[in-house]
Amino acid sequence: MVFSPSKAFAAPATGLDEQTIRQLQQERALRAQQEPPTDVQLKVKPTADAGRIPDHETPCFVIRQIDLVGDSAKSFSWALSAANADQDPAIGRCLGAKGIGVVMQRIQNALIARGYITTRVLAGAQNLRSGILHLTLVPGRVGRVRFAEGTSPRAHAWNALPLESGDVLNLRDIEQGLENFKRVPTADADMQIVPGAKPGESDVLIHWRQSYPLRLSLFVDDAGSKETGRYQGGAILSYDNWLTLNDLFYLSVNRSLGLDRIPSEHGTSAYTIHYSVPFGYWGLGVTSSESQYRQSIAGANQSYVYRGKNHNQELKLSRLMYRDAVRKLTLSASTYLTTAHNYIDDTEIVVQRRRMAGFKAAVAYRQFIGRATLDFEAAYRWGTGARGAIPAPESAFGEGTAKPRIETAALALNVPFEWGAEQLRYRTEMQAQWSQTVLIPQDRFAIGGRYTVRGFSGESLLSAEHGLLIRNDLGLVLGPYGELYIGVDYGQVSGPSARWLPGKRLAGGVLGVRGGFKGLSYDVFAGHAIAKPAGFPADGMVAGFRLGWTF
């Protein structure tokens, strides 16, 4: 068999690149489902309002300075700013017993707001004629960290709790520990703060339990393509707390089911394997995935089987940098390796071989606004020549690179609310990408299909270096087992690669119902294009489904 390398590169590129993009989108959806964030917000009793400093107290003393003294007092000097409330400062005022009590309560409230719920502020005997008010800080420390009697020996706290005996007790550390315990779906935990053996100490008593750690999920959907088979099925095997480190492990495998009227040579298969473990405010995760596809291509005298294999590896390290009662800020860094090999029959098309490596840095922010949740993430990804990376095949024509420079941003707002007796939910998502380099197809921003702009089949995509996607959902809760939802999406792309496209914008709508009952989960929907470029294919009404069973 003899063929031209340039023709082998160009002939099937569009359809097969879109197939690769679809598989990447499916993998991202799988990971979002299997690795959801865990949130714990512990409620404390509302603090008493300190009120205003009374005027004309007798006796009183003019206070020019307020100091904190005692063990670790310097670490809490920030709390002194609470003494001077807006329009009611303490410094320069003549304070009596009630006024000093107001100042102490303000500082105490500031400590509690930061999570120091067992730390106290006291006022000892002193001479206030000096104009200096000395307040004694008594830090509330951790005595013992222990599990409740009868807890399974599979429970371990050393890598989950970011505190130990002797530390100043902070509610944010307790919340972080609970999130680490609860990050695996079959485990649950609660903590009590109980009196310790010494004055000023509190013990942390952990109630931990786990059901059977193995989970098996089966699913079927019609998210494939006409060329390789729309109907797909798969299984996800999860082992929670496998190494007793509050660790998460899962293996997902899926393939086309062969239920379509297509040649038997056509089809797809994929697997994803993931493992992650927490270390206090740190997190470490590793993911490996592989996807394969195959289809027949008609030649002059015979048909050939064209198949491809893509492999991705990721190692990610994250650190929660800040948290309070309603906000969290996380930084992460990851390294990746991507390889791709394509074959005609059993002969590799060397000019299509890919091997790319690089890094990604990201910042993620989450805020709770009443019952609503706001998420924002910004990331920068850059390719390098490390780990045996080779130039992209497109680089010879100036149409892509193995060393991309890509900025991304994502914003999501989830708002549950009531309308009369009805429970509703509104969610909006925005994603954006901008690239400093011309990108290969797999790195481009792609729109069209159930994972981006709904109302399109996903058989054809618009993709380019830069892009914007906006998805909106309004859901009506149908009892405990379902939700009726309507969605409207918009996407646009631009950049050097967009010059070959029939247009740059898509808009679509969808109506569906989703939910779950016991181990069953479902999502059934129908959508339609709202706006598209002339010449861009649309199939009228587009229906789809996904069914899952968890054992």
**Digit-coded pLDDT (tens) for 60-100:** 999 999 999 998 999 999 999 999 988 899 999 999 999 99
Percentage of residues in the chain having pLDDT higher than 70: 97
HEC string for 13-78: HHHHHHHHHHHHHHHHHHHHHHCCCCCCCCCCCCCCCCCCCCCCCCCCEECCEEEEECCCHHHHHH
- At residue 397 the predicted structure's pLDDT band, cuts being 50, 70 and 90, is confident
What distances in angstroms separate CA 67 from CA 63, 99, 445, one per listed residue? 11, 16, 56
C-alpha to C-alpha distance for 339 and 341, rounded to whole angstroms:
7
Is the confidence at residue 250, as pLDDT, over 70?
yes
**Digit-coded pLDDT (tens) for 436-468:** 999 999 999 999 999 999 999 999 999 999 999
Q: Which CATH superfamily is domain 141-210 in?
A: membrane protein fhac (3.10.20.310)
- Quick one: pLDDT at residue 296? 80
C-alpha to C-alpha distance for 268 and 451, rounded to whole angstroms:
18
Yes or no: say if 398 and 437 are a contact pair by the CB < 8 Å rule: no
Write down how long the chain is.
551
Is the confidence at residue 171, as pLDDT, over 70?
yes
C-alpha to C-alpha distance for 242 and 226, rounded to whole angstroms:
39
- At residue 12 the predicted structure's pLDDT band, cuts being 50, 70 and 90, is very low
> Mean pLDDT: which of 2-16, 289-303, 500-514 is highest?
500-514
Which is higher by pLDDT, 500 or 9? 500
DSSP tag of 481: G
C-alpha to C-alpha distance for 184 and 212, rounded to whole angstroms:
12
Is the confidence at residue 234, as pLDDT, over 50?
yes
Is the confidence at residue 9, as pLDDT, over 90?
no
Q: Do domains 5-34+212-550 and 141-210 have the same CATH topology?
A: no
**Digit-coded pLDDT (tens) for 347-366:** 998 888 999 999 999 999 99
Is the confidence at residue 227, as pLDDT, over 50?
yes
Q: Where are the domains of the chain?
A: 5-34+212-550, 61-138, 141-210
C-alpha to C-alpha distance for 245 and 237, rounded to whole angstroms:
18
Cα–Cα nearest to 348, from 316, 390, 308: 308
Yes or no: say if 449 and 404 are a contact pair by the CB < 8 Å rule: no
Is the confidence at residue 302, as pLDDT, over 90?
no
DSSP tag of 230: S
CATH number for region 61-138: 3.10.20.310
Is the confidence at residue 2, as pLDDT, over 80?
no
- Quick one: pLDDT at residue 265? 77
* Mean pLDDT (whole number) for 24-51: 91
Burial of 59 (0-12, 13-18, 19+ CB in 10 A): exposed
Percentage of residues in the chain having pLDDT higher than 90: 82
- At residue 44 the predicted structure's pLDDT band, cuts being 50, 70 and 90, is confident
For residue 432, what is the enclosing H or E element?
strand 422-435
- Quick one: pLDDT at residue 7? 34
pTM: 0.91
- At residue 300 the predicted structure's pLDDT band, cuts being 50, 70 and 90, is low
Q: Which CATH class is domain 5-34+212-550?
A: mainly beta
- At residue 346 the predicted structure's pLDDT band, cuts being 50, 70 and 90, is confident
Is the confidence at residue 6, as pLDDT, over 70?
no
Distance of CA 113 to the CA centre of its chain: 26
- What are the phi and psi torsion angles at 101 (to 5°)? -60, -40
**Residue in this structure with the two tokens 């990108």, named with its chain if needed:** 439
* Mean pLDDT (whole number) for 375-399: 93
DSSP tag of 169: P
Rg of the chain, C-alpha, whole Å? 29
The side-by-side arrangement of strands in the sheet containing 187-195 is: 141-147, 201-210, 187-195
* Mean pLDDT (whole number) for 284-308: 85
Long-range contacts of 521-525 (CB under 8 A, 24+ apart): 521/546, 521/547, 521/548, 521/549, 521/550, 522/546, 522/547, 522/548, 525/450, 525/454
